[in-house]
Amino acid sequence: MTTPFGRRVSAVLSRRLVGRYVVLGIGEEAAVAEPGQFYMLAAVAGWGGGVDERPYLPRAVSVLYARDGEVGFLLEDVGPGTHRLCGLGVGEDVYLVGPLGQGFTPPPPGIEAILVGGGVGIPPLAMFQDRCGGQALLGFRTSEHAEAASLFAAPELATDDGSAGHQGHVTDLLDDLLETRQDIVVFACGPPAMLQAVQSRVARHQVPAQLALEAPMACGYGACFGCVVDTVAGYKRVCVDGPVFDAAVLV
């Protein structure tokens, strides 16, 4: 069974705090998403009508898990849309469209997946590890944000302030690994600066990588061209051609 395309209404089934993040579970009869795919979400009540009518458009949110009639999301309150979504309680209704986009392609047998995640970019990687395994290298601002590492099995940690794990960037952990390992595929999701740092490192070491990008999205299904990214094959829409791209094709 596949999830029907089009906007649906469903209720929040669960809500919990994980450090500085909120994990929402929303009812989804056919919860069939792949790691790296996302949904467009908007609250049914209290959406629009704020300053400048924001939030007006739905927001793109990666799938954290999809099982047992529920699809899960990890959210950070960074603006009007995520603020409203983070404030939703159990039983409140949400508009959802998804799953959307192209997810990660698992590595061939015998090749280890190295999962490099930064901040609120970790959901696709947690879902990937749950299904396909792999070693997680995670970077957060503080130990409070790093509590979300509990969503992973045996992660290695870095924090900007050194309050948990290595003090520094998650790419420091990747550097150590790339010195000794080339029989790997890197899967990464996080802020643009982190993804650029990953891209340059894997290129230098000639290691394949798949990067899950974020871009401002208005529609989420290919209609507005507001999310394009430059690739060696021309401009591509992050929402339908991605969000996961081979690192080697990104300009």
Ligand X SMILES: Cc1cc2nc3c(=O)[nH]c(=O)nc-3n(C[C@H](O)[C@H](O)[C@H](O)COP(=O)(O)OP(=O)(O)OC[C@H]3O[C@@H](n4cnc5c(N)ncnc54)[C@H](O)[C@@H]3O)c2cc1C
Return residues touching ligand FES (CB under 6 A).
217-220, 222-227, 237, 239
Q: In whole angstroms, what is the distance from residue 77 CA to residue 83 CA? A: 5
Q: In whole angstroms, what is the distance from residue 192 CA to residue 188 CA? A: 11
Q: Among residues 120 and 158, whose Cβ is nearest to ligand X?
A: 120
To ligand FES, the closest distance from the beta carbon of 190 in angstroms equals 20
Q: How many residues does the chain have?
A: 251
Q: In whole angstroms, what is the distance from residue 88 CA to residue 93 CA? A: 8
Q: In whole angstroms, what is the distance from residue 220 CA to residue 130 CA? A: 26
Q: Among residues 184 and 217, whose Cβ is nearest to ligand X?
A: 217
Q: In whole angstroms, what is the distance from residue 240 CA to residue 60 CA? A: 12
The torsion angles phi and psi of 110, rounded to 5 degrees, stand at 90, -10
The partner in contact with residue 222, picked from ligand X, ligand FES, none with C-beta cut-offs of 5 to 8 angstroms by kind, is ligand FES
Residue 78 in the binding site for ligand X (CB under 6 A) = yes
To ligand FES, the closest distance from the beta carbon of 34 in angstroms equals 18
To ligand X, the closest distance from the beta carbon of 216 in angstroms equals 5
Q: Among residues 58 and 80, whose Cβ is nearest to ligand FES?
A: 58
The partner in contact with residue 18, picked from ligand FES, ligand X, none with C-beta cut-offs of 5 to 8 angstroms by kind, is none
Q: Which residue has the tokens 């190295």?
A: 114
The partner in contact with residue 76, picked from ligand X, ligand FES, none with C-beta cut-offs of 5 to 8 angstroms by kind, is ligand X
The partner in contact with residue 123, picked from ligand FES, ligand X, none with C-beta cut-offs of 5 to 8 angstroms by kind, is ligand X
Determine the Cα angle at 209 with ends 239 and 64, to 5°.
50
Q: Which stretch binds ligand X (CB under 6 A): 59-67, 137-145, 151-159, 167-175?
A: 59-67
Q: In whole angstroms, what is the distance from residue 162 CA to residue 141 CA? A: 9
Q: Which of 185, 207, 243, 244 binds ligand X (CB under 6 A)?
A: 243
CB 207 within 8 A of CB 113: no
Binding to ligand X, residues 182-221 (CB under 6 A): 214-217
Q: Among residues 203 and 223, whose Cβ is nearest to ligand FES?
A: 223
Residue 244 in the binding site for ligand X (CB under 6 A) = no
Q: In whole angstroms, what is the distance from residue 216 CA to residue 20 CA? A: 23
Which residues, 6 or more positions from 157, have their beta carbon under 8 angstroms from its beta carbon? 138, 139, 140, 146, 149, 164, 165, 166
User: Which structure tokens are listed for 180?
Assistant: 């000794």
The partner in contact with residue 225, picked from ligand FES, ligand X, none with C-beta cut-offs of 5 to 8 angstroms by kind, is ligand FES
List beta partners, residue 219: none
To ligand FES, the closest distance from the beta carbon of 183 in angstroms equals 35
Please report, as ranges, the residues that interact with ligand X according to CB under 6 A: 38, 55, 59-62, 73-76, 78-83, 120, 123, 214-217, 243
